[in-house]
């Protein structure tokens, strides 16, 4: 497949905006070139990271559920393949919910970006694939009680080496799909988009030390902006619970609830989800990566004018209890995570509204 070409030729001089433009172009290329109708509907995301996995640009029009879960997926890949051991032309693939993935149809690809012989950045994208196996077409079975029923689980593995596809592994992935041609086409589209992303970033990496300094400065500035918001809010504990009717076979007749407790102290915020329900037997469970997507979207809202990067979440601490719907134990079914994430997003906004009300009344 030909590599799409795009470059930040009309980029502003501000590096965060320029990086966001590259990430935007990557996502737009995914939308324009993917095969799956689900992906064409917008179920994809692209982002740029530093070699240690810190987010530097999710794009300016991200889909929160997918863009926010890219960070944990990148960290999961780096846990198996550290940046210093990567080679030019490497490409890594994963969808494992217990190694940073969200749901099995959402496959992540990562490519190291080299300049002057070293990894200077990481380009990553995720795309919702039409089918990755499992007990029903589409790989989102509502009756699933185990991740094994939802499709092929892919741990972080190297799919490309020196730009060449590992044909045996690629054949294995396609063989487990009911729509192998679509899966093959979309994975190759993801790879071509990452190639184009690296090409565009090369224009920004002539001076790698300066690039790193500007990225670090942008992260520090975003963190400072969020901390300013937190400092102006009154300290205390704030609770809000979102609920919906049960559709989880393990939930009984009780509504499915996602209670949030915010503990705000100075310029720090603890998001405590330890009161969430025990994981269900059905698929209404969310992996930590899916949960993090809601948390990172919430964090960006605390300082909406700041660049969206790792600094936004630095003042936040997430607490979950293993074995709950927001931290399910293997081999829980997780294809219904979108409902849990939606409730979590609502609960976070509701709890923060109480913080804002207390601030106005102070």
The pLDDT of residue 67 is 83
- Cα separation, 262 vs 353, in Å, equals 11
308-330 confidence digits (pLDDT tens): 999 999 999 999 999 999 999 99
Percent of the chain with pLDDT strictly greater than 90:
83
What's the start-to-end Cα distance of the chain, in Å? Answer: 60
Higher-confidence position of 36 and 32: 32
> Is the pLDDT reported for residue 5 higher than 80?
no
**Nearest alpha carbon to residue 153 among 248, 41, 63, 76:** 76
Q: Residues 261-275: what's their mean pLDDT?
A: 98
53-76 confidence digits (pLDDT tens): 999 999 766 666 788 889 999 999
Sheet holding 55-57, edge to edge: 55-57, 44-49, 118-128, 106-115, 91-94, 157-161, 164-165
> Is the pLDDT reported for residue 293 higher than 90?
yes
Q: Residues 33-46: what's their mean pLDDT?
A: 81
158-193 confidence digits (pLDDT tens): 999 999 999 999 999 999 999 999 999 999 999 999
Contact 246, 252 (CB under 8 A): yes
206-250 confidence digits (pLDDT tens): 999 999 999 999 999 999 999 999 999 999 999 999 988 765 444
The pLDDT of residue 6 is 57
> Is the pLDDT reported for residue 332 higher than 50?
yes
The pLDDT of residue 7 is 54
> Is the pLDDT reported for residue 39 higher than 80?
no
């Amino acid at each position: 497949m030909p590599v799409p070409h795009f470059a930040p030729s009309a980029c502003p001089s501000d590096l965060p905006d320029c990086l966001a433009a590259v990430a935007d172009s990557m996502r737009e290329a995914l939308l324009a070139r993917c095969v799956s109708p689900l992906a064409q509907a917008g179920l994809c995301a692209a982002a740029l990271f530093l070699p240690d996995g810190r987010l530097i640009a999710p794009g300016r029009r991200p889909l929160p559920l997918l863009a926010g879960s890219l960070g944990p997926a990148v960290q999961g890949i780096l846990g198996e393949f550290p940046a210093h051991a990567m080679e030019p032309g490497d490409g890594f693939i994963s969808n494992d919910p217990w190694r940073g993935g969200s749901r099995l149809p959402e496959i992540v690809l990562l490519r190291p970006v080299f300049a002057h012989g070293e990894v200077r950045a990481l380009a990553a994208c995720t795309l919702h694939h039409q089918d990755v196996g499992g007990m029903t077409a589409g790989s989102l079975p509502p009756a699933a009680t185990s991740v094994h029923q939802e499709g092929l689980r892919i741990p972080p593995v190297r799919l490309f080496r020196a730009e060449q596809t590992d044909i045996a592994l690629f054949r294995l992935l396609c063989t487990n799909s009911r729509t192998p041609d679509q899966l093959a086409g979309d994975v190759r589209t993801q790879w071509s988009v990452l190639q184009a992303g690296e090409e565009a970033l090369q224009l920004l990496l002539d001076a790698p030390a300066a690039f790193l300094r500007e990225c670090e400065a942008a992260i520090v500035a975003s963190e400072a902006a969020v901390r300013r918001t937190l400092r102006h809010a009154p300290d205390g504990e704030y609770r809000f619970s979102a609920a919906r009717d049960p559709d989880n076979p393990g939930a009984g007749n009780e509504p499915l609830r996602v209670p949030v407790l915010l503990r705000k102290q100075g310029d720090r915020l603890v998001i405590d989800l330890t009161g969430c329900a025990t994981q269900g037997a059905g698929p209404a469970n969310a992996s930590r990566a899916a949960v993090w997507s809601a948390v990172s979207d919430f964090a960006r809202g605390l300082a909406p004018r700041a660049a969206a990067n790792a600094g936004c979440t630095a003042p936040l601490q997430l607490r979950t209890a293993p074995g709950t719907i927001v931290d399910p134990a293997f081999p829980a079914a997780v294809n219904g995570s979108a409902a849990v994430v939606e409730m979590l997003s609502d609960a976070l906004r509701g709890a923060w509204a109480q913080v804002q009300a207390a601030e106005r009344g102070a």
